[in-house]
Amino acid sequence: MGLIAVTGASGKLGRATITFLLDRNVSAFGIVALARDPAKIADLSGGGVQVRRGDYTDPASLESAFRGVDQLLFISTSALGEERMLHHRNVVSAARAAGVGHIVYTSVIKPSANAKFAASPGHFHTEALIRESRIPYTFFRNNLYLDIIPFMFGSALETGTLTYAAGAGRIGFIARDDIAEALATVLTEGEHANREYPITVSSTPYGMAEIARALGKAAGKTVSYADVAPEAFRKTLEARGLPPPAVSMSLAMAEAIRAGEFDSASPALERFLGRPPLGLEPFLRKALAPR
């Protein structure tokens, strides 16, 4: 097994994937952890992991960091729009120049150039960039993280009503750590070149009413779902005091859910894990447990 590099290693997904690689007996000396600020992951070097500077805005730093790398876990940037594409073009160009043998890229479920979800077009175009590079690839098309539910719908616990404009839309929420474990599996199996995997729930995605009930059950309360029109939802968000960018983002997310952009199920994640992925209710029980 050649050298494995992980971009964004100071983030939660990158750090968790490194942990799972080590759990799979990958030598620490065979892992390269990249971060814009290496000081944030300096502790990894104590265990033998190679810590290198890799800044998405600095192509030279990326090419240097990718030298000798066989497999690259390319974790997408948090930026959107043209800034995201600038970052991603830099990564792909540097990987090609450095002779990287395989890119595993964290994409999104149902990538589309015309999606309502703001991050989806960037993923669509990045997948195209990677294909055009001729570097063998694996695309992890991830659904939304279970981890965001308390932030996305947490106000429902105060009001008893999950007010949202998502209609009958469904979401195949999955846990970030399950994605990280599956990424570690793919990076160590070597059988996944030029494949795209939908990383989502194994069976039926979660509807909004189900999410509301699960939130309430985990918190020992009763929570119901109130589907509202987009304009009414806007007024609700503004009444909560959200700034205009947050209002716009929430409206776009609701529209994406209503349009079915996250309504997807696949056995792929369960196969990688060798067990069912963490479900909605057990996740919320743990996330909302008193500390």
Burial class (CB in 10 A: 0-12, 13-18, 19+), 77: buried
Residues 95 and 133: beta-carbon distance below 8 Å: yes
Band (pLDDT 50/70/90 cuts) for residue 289 is confident
Three-class secondary structure of residue 76 per DSSP? coil
pLDDT at 153 over 90: no
Q: Report DSSP state, residue 147.
A: G
pLDDT at 291 over 70: no
Task: Please report, as a single letter, which amino acid is at residue 79.
Answer: A
Closest to 191 (Cα-Cα) out of 71, 14, 15, 16:
71
CATH, domain 143-175+200-263+276-291, list 3.90.1520.10, 3.40.50.720, 2.30.38.10, 3.90.25.10 = 3.90.25.10
Residues 170 and 262: beta-carbon distance below 8 Å: yes
CATH of domain 3-142: 3.40.50.720
d(CA 67, CA 245): 40
Domain borders along the chain are 3-142, 143-175+200-263+276-291
Residue environment code for 98-131, b if the CB has 16+ CB neighbours within 10 A, otherwise e: bebebbbbbbbbbbeeebbbebbbbbbebbeebe
Residues 24 and 16: beta-carbon distance below 8 Å: no
214 to each of 129, 151, 173, 289, 290, how far by Cα in Å?
A: 40, 15, 13, 13, 16
The pLDDT tens digits of the residues spanning 228-276 come to 999 999 998 998 888 998 899 899 999 999 999 999 999 999 999 999 9
- The mean per-residue pLDDT over the stretch 75-95 comes to 95
pLDDT at 286 over 70: yes
pLDDT at 10 over 70: yes
Query: What's the pLDDT at 190?
Result: 78
Secondary element (H or E) of residue 36: none
Triad 142, 143, 148: Cα angle to 5°: 115
- The mean per-residue pLDDT over the stretch 30-56 comes to 95
Residues 50 and 29: beta-carbon distance below 8 Å: yes
